[in-house]
Chains A and B, each alone.
Chain A
Amino acid sequence: MSSMAMQLKVNRIVTGTKIPHPCGDPNLPTEADRDLRRAVIQCSLSALQREVKGPTLFVPDVTFTSG
């Protein structure tokens, strides 16, 4: 839902997994779910350290497999 966040003029937007579970994926094995969560949170923490001018999208370095 990053385009909705863009429209709301949110400064820093991180792409998450799904509306019901933005920071993980219960369909993945536990290990892979933990790696995914770590990647989304790390992306968020690095986004906080970046200067931005207006809405900026940050995409974690992972592949989202859930539709």
Chain B
Amino acid sequence: MKLEIATFFVKDVRFSNETRYGGGVLEINKEELVKLVLEDKRVLSADLDVAFPGEKTRIVKLRDAVEPRVKVAGPGCLFPGILGPVETVGAGKNHRLSGVTVMLSAEYVPTILSGTAAQSSGIVDMWGAAAQLTPFGSTINVILMINLVDGVTELEAHGAMQLAELKVAQRLATTTIEKAPDDIEVFELSKTDPSLPRIVYVAAASITWQSPHSGLAYYGLPVRESLPTLMHPNEFLDGAITKDVRIGNGSRPTTWSWMSPAVILELLRQHGKQLTFLGVILQRTRFETEFGKQVTAACTSQMARLLGADGIVSTRISTSGNNFMDMMLTVQACERKGIKTVFMTPEWGGKNGDELPLVYYVPEATSMISTGSFERDVMMPKPEKVIGVGNCQSVQLYAGDKLYVPASEFVLPASFCLLDGVDCLGRLNLTCEQH
């Protein structure tokens, strides 16, 4: 299975009377894209805006972000099971617009008003300290703002918002068809030197079992009572993993992060050089009993052993302490089967870094990488412009939280208030100082 990814760099985005790409400039016909989104009768109104790195712009009511990508050859489509029929993906050729995202700022009337299944939103600043905590402070962001009609269920709201976002992103990527790319990269798990260390990536996915959407979907199907699933790394690059877009909270990776997964891309690039990449185990975590956690740990470690793994790199999503225990038991089970395991995880640690960084520990976890504490305050200075759907005089990030005034200066209590503000998938953009 060979997947070619052709990259087209975007240096500028402008609104014009035609949607087209050329010379690093993406032009967008706003009316055309609004019309495309309004084809779905569940969408009441739509609008677009654009934000550039460095300008004093704050974007609010964010649910998700996605990279414009389209399949130009090979089986299936981008986002199989959502934008087209279910067909095994991971082969063929994709075009991607690099340096630009489509962001979703959306509103609907929720029916779940409290608890962890309720909708939430995130913020992105295009300048200052907060811009460095998310990938989207350094990309040009096309913000799709939509309102849904009254009377949609929570699951329909997810479906309508996601479809609008993905359709717009795919439309933008189609502007590159039959054009010459700036770069081509080939991803393939070809035969390698048998002496290279054999590595498996365990991508642990925390599941919200009580929610209308479980939080994470495989080929569009929300993952629920599932044991570990073996995946080809290229499937991620084709959008086989997506999220519940009702949840904009930064402890849940965006679709953008799932389709550009840092650890997978690096392991694919090192395949045949430093290591042999055997594949990805997508591990459902956050079981509600210790018994369930032990079972998923046993199953994951056995799957890795059957694959012939010498080593495992693992990550986890969400800041849940519950799912942290599943992962620690998995590290333990893998190490006991003789597989060296590195666990990359965000940590707690409190406001000043002097509180407990981990909620559970096993002696076998001897090799861990912190992707940063998510509990630090984030300074949000006064912006010059606020972008977001509807009335943005005040925003609530999650059910029960206080209101913030986006046009003013304020302090956020944690980086999970920013879209993709927690490094769950190991992009490792943070550093620390010893003192």
Residues of A within 8 A of B (CB): 1-4, 7, 17-20, 64, 66-67
* B322 near A19: Cβ-Cβ < 8 Å: yes
* B288 near A20: Cβ-Cβ < 8 Å: yes
Expressed in whole angstroms, the minimum distance between the Cβ of B386 and any Cβ of chain A is 38
Q: How far is the CA of A20 from the CA of B210 in the complex (A)?
A: 10
- Residue in B closest to A67 when the chains form the complex, CB atoms: B292
Expressed in whole angstroms, the minimum distance between the Cβ of B319 and any Cβ of chain A is 16
Residues of B near A2 (CB, < 8 A) are 290
Instruction: Enumerate B71-94 residues with CB–CB distance to A below 8 Å.
Output: none
Expressed in whole angstroms, the minimum distance between the Cβ of B363 and any Cβ of chain A is 11
Expressed in whole angstroms, the minimum distance between the Cβ of A4 and any Cβ of chain B is 5
Candidates B287, B291, B322, B360; contact of A7 at CB < 8 Å? B360
Residues of B near A19 (CB, < 8 A) are 288-289, 322
- Residue in B closest to A16 when the chains form the complex, CB atoms: B289
Interface contacts beyond A1-B325, A7-B360, A66-B288: sample of 15 additional A-B pairs, CB < 8 Å, sorted by A = A1-B290, A3-B290, A4-B359, A4-B360, A7-B361, A18-B288, A19-B288, A19-B289, A19-B322, A20-B210, A20-B288, A64-B289, A64-B291, A67-B287, A67-B292
Q: Can you give 15 A-B contacts (C-beta < 8 A)?
A: A1-B325, A4-B325, A4-B359, A4-B360, A7-B361, A19-B322, A20-B210, A64-B289, A66-B288, A67-B225, A67-B287, A67-B288, A67-B289, A67-B292, A67-B295
Q: How far is the CA of A67 from the CA of B224 in the complex (A)?
A: 13
Q: How far is the CA of A15 from the CA of B225 in the complex (A)?
A: 23
- Residue in B closest to A18 when the chains form the complex, CB atoms: B288
Expressed in whole angstroms, the minimum distance between the Cβ of A11 and any Cβ of chain B is 19
Expressed in whole angstroms, the minimum distance between the Cβ of B288 and any Cβ of chain A is 4
* B291 near A67: Cβ-Cβ < 8 Å: yes
* B325 near A66: Cβ-Cβ < 8 Å: no
- Residue in A closest to B321 when the chains form the complex, CB atoms: A4
Residue among A2, A20, A64 with most chain B CB within 10 A:
A20
Q: How far is the CA of A1 from the CA of B320 in the complex (A)?
A: 14
Q: How far is the CA of A20 from the CA of B322 in the complex (A)?
A: 11
Expressed in whole angstroms, the minimum distance between the Cβ of B214 and any Cβ of chain A is 15
- Residue in A closest to B292 when the chains form the complex, CB atoms: A67
Residue among A2, A4, A17, A18 with most chain B CB within 10 A:
A4
Instruction: Enumerate B286-328 residues with CB–CB distance to A below 8 Å.
Output: 287-292, 295, 322, 325
Residues of A near B210 (CB, < 8 A) are 20
Expressed in whole angstroms, the minimum distance between the Cβ of B17 and any Cβ of chain A is 54
Expressed in whole angstroms, the minimum distance between the Cβ of B139 and any Cβ of chain A is 38
Expressed in whole angstroms, the minimum distance between the Cβ of A10 and any Cβ of chain B is 13
Which 9 A/B pairs are nearest by Cβ-Cβ distance?
Answer: A18-B288, A19-B288, A67-B292, A4-B360, A18-B289, A1-B290, A20-B288, A4-B325, A19-B322
Expressed in whole angstroms, the minimum distance between the Cβ of B326 and any Cβ of chain A is 11
Expressed in whole angstroms, the minimum distance between the Cβ of B82 and any Cβ of chain A is 29
Residues of A near B361 (CB, < 8 A) are 7
Residues of A near B360 (CB, < 8 A) are 3-4, 7
Expressed in whole angstroms, the minimum distance between the Cβ of A63 and any Cβ of chain B is 12
Q: How far is the CA of A64 from the CA of B292 in the complex (A)?
A: 12
- Residue in A closest to B322 when the chains form the complex, CB atoms: A19
Expressed in whole angstroms, the minimum distance between the Cβ of A55 and any Cβ of chain B is 14
Q: How far is the CA of A7 from the CA of B194 in the complex (A)?
A: 41
Q: How far is the CA of A1 from the CA of B210 in the complex (A)?
A: 19
Expressed in whole angstroms, the minimum distance between the Cβ of B284 and any Cβ of chain A is 12
- Residue in A closest to B209 when the chains form the complex, CB atoms: A20
* A66 near B290: Cβ-Cβ < 8 Å: no
Q: How far is the CA of A4 from the CA of B292 in the complex (A)?
A: 15
- Residue in B closest to A3 when the chains form the complex, CB atoms: B290
Residues of A near B359 (CB, < 8 A) are 4
- Residue in A closest to B356 when the chains form the complex, CB atoms: A8
Residues of B near A17 (CB, < 8 A) are 289
Expressed in whole angstroms, the minimum distance between the Cβ of A23 and any Cβ of chain B is 14
